[in-house]
Amino acid sequence: MTTPKPSSSAGPPANAFIVIDGRRWRASDPQIPPNLRQELVNELMAARRAVRDADTEVAVRASRRRVSDAKVALGERGHAWWLPPDPAAMTRRIEATARALLRSRAPDRTICPSDVARVVGAGAWRALLPVVRDHAVAMSGRGALEILRGGQRVTDEPTRGVLRYRLAPGGTDGA
């Protein structure tokens, strides 16, 4: 069950924070669909384990970027999920969500643009699809992901048709 996001003038909703051992933490966006929320939580836990197990400074930094991406995707870091986003915040969350979902899946697996839109856009995810596709094109240009149509890399019209995204070979596109 999802609840509507209040306006920015109403202040944070009652479910905006959780308290653990007396410390207040921002809660995950409650409008993320449960299956995608679980996938992002699994990625967050895997990233935290990678930070713990890292044996070089480069590996620690890469693992911390994974943690950050998962937390931004979940709405626990960055622009508060209950506030109307500005364009920079929307860009950050869309790209972090795409990276986190792609990392959470096997290297040969893909995500759908709607997966990203559903995490970031909640009930308005369909209206967000063109924005997600535009950001995927930008990420593809940086070598972070590949855009596929029918299992083949797209070289023309990368925002049209049924698309899937996968991590580019060697692509990390740090946060």
What is the domain-level CATH number for residue 160?
1.10.10.10
How many residues does this entry show for the chain? Answer: 175
Give strand pairing partners of 80: none
Amino acid at the residue 70: A
Exposure letters 149-158 (e unless 16+ CB within 10 A, then b): beeeebeeeb
d(CA 75, CA 77): 6
- From 30, 94, 104, select the one nearest 67 (Cα to Cα): 104
Output the furthest CA–CA distance in the chain (Å, rounded).
53
Domain hosting residue 92, numbered range: 19-25+33-167
Domain-embedded: residue 9: no
| Tens of each residue's pLDDT in the chain, 175 residues | 444 554 445 689 999 999 999 999 999 999 999 999 999 999 999 999 999 999 999 999 999 999 999 999 999 999 999 999 899 999 999 999 999 999 999 888 999 999 999 999 988 999 999 999 999 999 999 999 999 999 999 988 888 889 999 998 876 555 4
Domain-embedded: residue 6: no
pTM of the model: 0.90
Residue 60, token pair as written in the block: 């620690």
- From 38, 40, 33, 31, select the one nearest 69 (Cα to Cα): 40
Domain-embedded: residue 81: yes
